[in-house]
Amino acid sequence: MRNFDITSAETLDGYARKIGFLPFFKNSIRGFSVEEMCPPSLWFTDKPGPWEWKGPVIRKGNCAYGKFFKNKAVYVSLEMLPHLCNYRRDGYDFDARCDDGLVFYRDKDVYDIIAQSGGIISKDVRQKINDKDIDKYFTRLQMRTYIVTADFVYEKSKDGQTYGWGVAKYATPESLYGAELIRSQYKTKPSESFEIMVERILKYFPETDRQTVIKLIK
């Protein structure tokens, strides 16, 4: 696909739902990112742009957001999210993965705090777990689809104006979208879910080498 113009949170949400996946940054598939689809004039201006649209798009409830491809941020439609979860989890809910000894203990500490909170900003998790490598745990849990970014929270000035960079708020996808949806493809073979995702991206980027898509998703 070429010449996409993402000019608002609404158009971003629409493209993410249409394609099924939409990385935020440039990647191995040419043109397959918000960075490439959004005009340069909308980045880093006084008006809301791609960075500020993240929260509004997430709150629409049509797409999940998290570090899902190569440890980088991606929007995933709720149509494709169950397939991503099925593939990445490989049949394991988090507790089952723990029971089989397949979880790093720090990942479990972070996951438990997020799951029990129902949604918590990263700064508050950092206060509970004083570990310089905590970003690695956040990323690993997102790549496994056990947590997602639920929103971005901004500091406010005395007159109520937001400022600075938004702080990520994390939650489990089950708490945001419901366990029934998230686990709806568990009866599908993970390899079949993977193939569905590959074909979905190739549908919109048919000129892309198949192996390139496979490497991006894995």
**How many Cα atoms are found within 13 Å in the side-chain-facing hemisphere of 98?**
12
| Residue 47, pLDDT above cutoff 90 | no
For residue 132, give the amino acid letter: K
167 forms beta bridges with: 153
Q: What is the pLDDT of residue 1?
A: 46
- Fill in the amino acid letter for 160: G
Q: Give the separation between CA 162 and CA 158, rounded to whole angstroms.
A: 10
Mean pLDDT of all residues in 80-91: 97
**Higher-scoring residue by pLDDT: 156, 126:** 126
Q: Across residues 98-105, what is the average pLDDT?
A: 92
Task: Compute the mean pLDDT over every residue in the chain, rounded to the nearest whole number.
Answer: 94
Angle formed by the axes of helices 50-60 and 9-19, nearest 10°: 60
Q: For the residues 158-170, what does the mean pLDDT come to?
A: 80
Give the 3-state secondary structure of 147-207: CEEEEEEEEECCCCCEEEEEEEEEECHHHHHCHHHHCCCCCCCHHHHHHHHHHHHHHHCCC
Confidence of residue 159 (pLDDT cuts 50, 70, 90): confident
Q: Report domain extents, the chain.
A: 9-217
C-alpha span between 13 and 77 (Å, rounded): 9
- pLDDT of 185: 98
Position 2 pLDDT exceeds 60: no
pTM, full prediction: 0.94
pLDDT the model gives residue 157 = 67
Beta pairing partners, 153: 167
Q: What band does 5 get if pLDDT is binned at 50, 70 and 90?
A: confident
State the DSSP H helix or E strand holding residue 93, giving kind and residue range, or none if neither. Answer: none
Between 13 and 2, the higher pLDDT residue? 13
pLDDT at residue 163, as a whole number: 66
| Backbone dihedral angles phi then psi of residue 128, each to the nearest 5 degrees | -80, -30
